[in-house]
Chain A
Amino acid sequence: MMKICWKTWLLLCAAAAVVCAGARPAFAIGELSVGINMGATYDPNNLEGDIAEYNMAMEQYRNANDGTTAKQMSVPYAPVFGFNFRYQFNFFLIRMGCHYTSPVQSIKGSITPPGGVKNTIKIKTYQNSYPVTLGLLVPLNKKTNFFIGAGPTLHQASVTITQSEPVQGAFSFQNYGLSKDRRDSYTATFVGYHIMLGAEVPVHERFTMSVEWIHQEGRSHTIKNDGLDSTGAVITTPKHTISVQGDFLIFGLNYYISL
């Protein structure tokens, strides 16, 4: 009799536990959304240091040689476009996305030594990133939440620097420890990581607007140069690494798929 009473009592307590757990805020079983993103970044692929060295070389030469004309390269802003899939379960978040960035304005400068020919230096660059984010989110209401996350990112990045007249008797960037090649081109695929902070608000029954701050870190392995020297001959040196360190702010429009 006592045993039966004890088991009954235990069952009642277990039932109470289930009821109490159910009495907590009722989270959805899981929510899946797909979103398109648009945003901005500055200096994709971290070229600011390299650009500053070329600019400084041009300005030093212009200062020392009257009659030199020089135009500095500007560090570019770049738009960011992408999409993502997000799955939310209670306070966990899994996000898989893709975003692409490349400067719209050209990165272009030039220097014309006195009595020399104009050397136009251009930089082209792009970055494709595929972040996978695991994180925590704090849900406020239905489809209003705030989240933090981190994870690995697969990057495809490319940087190409070209010079129209890299070596002239009067001037060469080589004198300042920089490249004397007609083309230096580096492209690589590698893994980095990212940290993300974001928030989301509803705009319609199934649509939400989100904003995400993504901080990226990563550096490629050393990449062979797909280049041309000053005479136009193919070269594979110097090797270079690409750094994708940077910050993005991305706005998104998300559609919640019914599961």
Chain B
Amino acid sequence: MSRIILTTMILWACFSGFLYADDILGIGVHLGGQHDVGKLSDQESGMQTDPQNNLLAGISLKANMSFVFLRTGIDTTFLLNKGKVYEDSSQIKTSKLEYTAIPGFLGLRFPVKDMGEFYMGGGAAYFLGSGQIVMADGTKEEINTTALGYGFITGIEFTLVSSMKIYMEWEYIDARSGAVMKTQTTYGWKNLHIDYTGHRILFGVMYYLI
């Protein structure tokens, strides 16, 4: 019996390539990265910075309906290196920002027979961020923010076996929080906002459930 099952599995692996799945609903895991998280240099004119870089890990859900796709998921970032401000006049010394994003995109897909597909869509993402800003005088401020942003996604999927694909995506979202922290000693207001805007590159593997 076990031999029959094993044989069946081997033959299924051989011939499954000819049984093209409809690829309707897929779940994927991916890794990626983002450069210049927080965009400190845009906060003040003349601010010279060493940008923060984050690694990204996430899960994606993709639903395909003929030439239309819906993609959502959840992404979490991990600090690779802190953002640093170089010139002495700034109140900020270093920044550390990590976030979780929940994106949603809608667009068109262009399947290339059994090889894969190219897709392109627009949408939005909701960000929940937290981090720490270290000031020039050594004090540390914890920050927690949220933001909603809009952008686009474009990517390629390539078929490994019938239900398994690898994908690579370029994602851009434009999003900013409100003012969360005071960095100007001259005034009493909070002025620093957290900028989640940026380009992300993702690489992952997707399994199509149906």
Q: CB < 8 Å: which of B49, B87, B118, B201 contacts A138?
A: B118
Which B residues, 1 to 48, have Cβ-Cβ distances below 8 Å to chain A? 3, 7, 10-11, 13-15, 17, 33, 35-36, 41, 45-46, 48
A197 vs B41: C-alpha distance in the bound complex, in angstroms? 27
A49 partner residues in chain B, CB cutoff 8 A: 45
Q: Number of residues in A with C-beta < 8 Å to the partner?
A: 44
How far apart are A214's CB and chain B's nearest CB, in angstroms? 11
Query: Which of B10, B17, B33, B201 is within 8 Å of A13, CB to CB?
Result: B10
Question: A91, B201: Cβ atoms under 8 Å?
Answer: no
Contact of A195 with B199 in the complex, beta carbons under 8 Å: yes
Write out the residue numbers on chain B whose beta carbons fall within 8 Å of the beta carbon of A136.
156, 158, 166-168
Would you call B115 an interface residue if the criterion is a C-beta within 8 Å of the partner chain's C-beta atoms? Answer: yes
Question: Closest CB of chain B to A114's CB: distance in Å?
Answer: 28
Q: Could you tell me how many residues of chain B have their Cβ less than 8 Å away from some Cβ of chain A?
A: 37
**Bound: A184/B170 CA distance, A:** 37
Say whether A219 contacts B168, CB under 8 Å: no
**Residue of A21, A23, A138 most packed against chain B (CB within 10 A):** A138
> Is A91 a contact partner of B168 (Cβ separation < 8 A)?
no
Whether A138 contacts B86 by the Cβ 8 Å rule is no
Partner of B115, one of A20, A139, A219, A239: A139
B contact residues vs A (CB 8 Å cutoff): 3, 7, 10-11, 13-15, 17, 33, 35-36, 41, 45-46, 48-51, 86-87, 112, 114-118, 154-156, 158, 166-170, 199, 201
